[in-house]
Structure 1
């Protein structure tokens, strides 16, 4: 019988490993709070400036839909906006007991280990 990763057997171990990984990952991410802050550049709000390439790109594309510069500016603008969102995130781990934290990390590590073991050829 060919199992997970083309190895003999290993499907039950793979499924248990994936379940433990998902459970540990869920419990860990459930303890995390994500907030955002202002987009600052040298102490000034920079969100409007990050929209300029996007707006110029949209304008060029409405003028000429085949404009290479329009597509480049549109893509660059979207990339700048996405990067600005990611850069300005603040991630906090909520207080949890040591037992809960060890259980979350233990489930995650055990699941990754079982999943990797099921994919290893014998």
Structure 2
């Protein structure tokens, strides 16, 4: 029977490796916590840094909506204005950058569990790659030579 990559055998090895990789990735993603609330790139730059160069939260987040608001207003007045479309896109880009820059990922797991996840992923990938090689059949030694 032809298996992975057209070689003999290796189908079981491939699927076992795939199962290990999927399990390791699932356990890794299951241990990641997502939080927000820190200063974003744009709002942190607007809020100053207290003189130490670090970003702080600011209450001036509304300023990021101004380009978007003006762009949408202008589009409802006359949708043929190219600058209004560009201003709307730029306003959306500002908002997207601010939202994405506020997201923080925290891996909340024990070191032993993290190592087990990495072993599952690495070993699974190795089994998948190994399944593409020709599989040798292990046979009993021939007793007739004695």
Tell me the TM-score normalised to structure 1 length. 0.72
Bigger radius of gyration: 2
* Greater RCO, CA 8 A, separation 6+: 1
Counterpart of 1:8 (choices 6, 9, 14) is: 6
Q: Which has the higher helix share?
A: 1
Bigger strand fraction: 1
* Count of residue pairs brought into register by the alignment: 118
User: Hey, what's the Cα distance between the residues in 1 that align with 2:30 and 2:17?
Assistant: 20
User: Distance between the aligned counterparts of 1:2 and 1:67, measured in 2?
Assistant: 61
Unaligned runs of 5+ in 1: none
Structure 2 gaps of 5+ residues are 49-55, 135-146
Structure 1 58/15 Cα, relative in aligned 2: closer, same or farther at 3 Å? farther
Which aligned pairs between 1:8-87 and structure 2 lie closer than 5 A?
8-9=6-7, 14-39=14-39, 40=44, 41=46, 42=48, 43=56, 44-87=58-101
